[in-house]
Structure 1
Amino acid sequence: MDKVNPNFDNITRQFMSLERSQKPKMLVVDDEPDNLDLLYRTFRRHFSVFRAESGAQALSILSNEGEVAVIISDQRMPEMKGTEFLSKTVPQFPDTMRIILTGFTDVEDLVEAINAGQVYRYITKPWDPNELKTVVERAVQTYELLKQRTEELQRAHAQMALMETLVQVAQESESLETSLPQIAQVFSDSFGTDTCILQLVEDDHLIDVKGTYSQDESLVNPLESDPLLPDAIANRQLQVWINPPGATPQDATEYYQKIGIKAHLLIPIVHRSELLALLSLQWQQQARKLSEDELKLIHLSAQQVGLAIATSR
């Protein structure tokens, strides 16, 4: 079995730096434009702030933008109260921190919302900017802790599913060709990729036997023209490209930006010094960070696939 890539530390740093460069998202909701502008100015330096003048508009923004770390909503708004709006966000975004601004003593609504886990804190109007900043800072810390725990559970489940599937495919597949798409899908599901390609190699050249899995098949690009391919074949080591700044190799930047890839991890599958296949993990929407343990799991699982390929030949 191939030894672990000695460049793991560098690859890990590149993946782990992905989220640090991004501001957390915040949604502020108030039917008074002046309040929206004030909230925007207060938090724009440290957050990507989205603004909505009603609960309905806010739900539309969430539908388009996805999860945000914090929602700050006024309670008294026409058509939909703040607590009603926030309750609608809980099923899809359970980890989001929700803060209510209220100038009224809507005690019954607020207590019910807080007890139901729909509201993290409430702040009375007019609010103290420093107090609100402190509350938001703590809310973000709580959000990040919840996301970390959720991701750890998801990773553990995905890793177990990956190993179970690899064993099952090796035992039950009728042929190597029919197993390749199944293996590609389980790698994609386990590590949140948009595209995964598992392609066989003979005499250090790709052959036309492969399995692919993609959320959009039109986004699948052939490995034959991929800039990482020559080094992966020559060095038998993991190769990575991540969207700039700092992308390497530099000559790959134009190629990947043209086809819309944010990150690419290319894993040589080696058994007894023979290169049997290449496993391509591609993120086209947004690359997520991968820990060193996850990279090692990808590498070792890929080599387990190599054993299955060698056995089937």
Structure 2
Amino acid sequence: FKAYLYTWYGIFIDIIIPGESVSGEISKVYLVNRDVPGTSGKAVASVVTHRLMSMGMTVATMVFGTAMLLGQGQTNTILFNLSLLSAILTSISLVFLILLCTRENWAMKLVNMVLGFVEYVGRGRWKLDKIREDAHKAARIFHESMKELGHDPRVLVESTSLFVLSWIASASVPYFVFLAIGFQVDWSAILITSAIVSAIKSIPIGIPFEVGLPEIVMTLLYGFVSPVITTQIAATATVLTRILTLWLRFFIGFVAQQWLEYKAIKIPTAKLEEQEGLTPSLVRVKGGSCNASHD
């Protein structure tokens, strides 16, 4: 249940902080390490595995949706080029991430480069030796966790199956929204639009791609993919879809975030109060024992 709350916490952070590609994942790693110190490497392995699945599914969906359009004889140069560019960029990022997961020395070099840049910016005023040591330790644990995951196909099959079901459920939202407003839309339009929007959101360049831009992109893409979809219909379906995929998730994530932070504050406070309550009684017990022995 706690992992479920962490996921909603990450979704909430994704929405409110620009750079959705990494903000939610960083928050989940932080929460796990705060709850169980020293597990940041395993937490990173978990979120990276999820990212690999997401990127792989995005590329597969984009290729499949484009093939469906071409098979139906629908060709749009702008849409085809955009799909091709998104698929290539996502594939390059996917290959780079896989190399980082399989080559430990590359990850170590990346850590050293990032910390070296920070030291250069700070002009030597920041001592990062402890941070460098912790980062190297987390990187080693990360690669050990990735190797363990690779040697356990049952976990991979189970997690991949659940991820595919989650993706299908997410892609079904706009499809049923179109049906609800009395408009039949082809699945190829849904798949390509969902894949392109997901690919843009996964680019780690700090774009606040959650409010405003997705609505514009989705409305335009629906018109490109299916000429029979008017701008009014596309805009209506987009707004209704975003109510479910953005604002509903925002409020659920907000509740999860508030609950986790409340528990994080309450538990240490309760332990401190318990310790303060036990201290006087311990003193009295020790004092009584000393008096008894003295008598």
Higher RCO (C-alpha under 8 Å, 6+ residues apart): 2
**Which TM class, normalised by the smaller chain length?**
under 0.3
Bigger CA radius of gyration? 2
Relative to its length, the structure with more helix (as a share) is 2
TM-score if structure 1 supplies the norm length?
0.21
Relative to its length, the structure with more strand (as a share) is 1
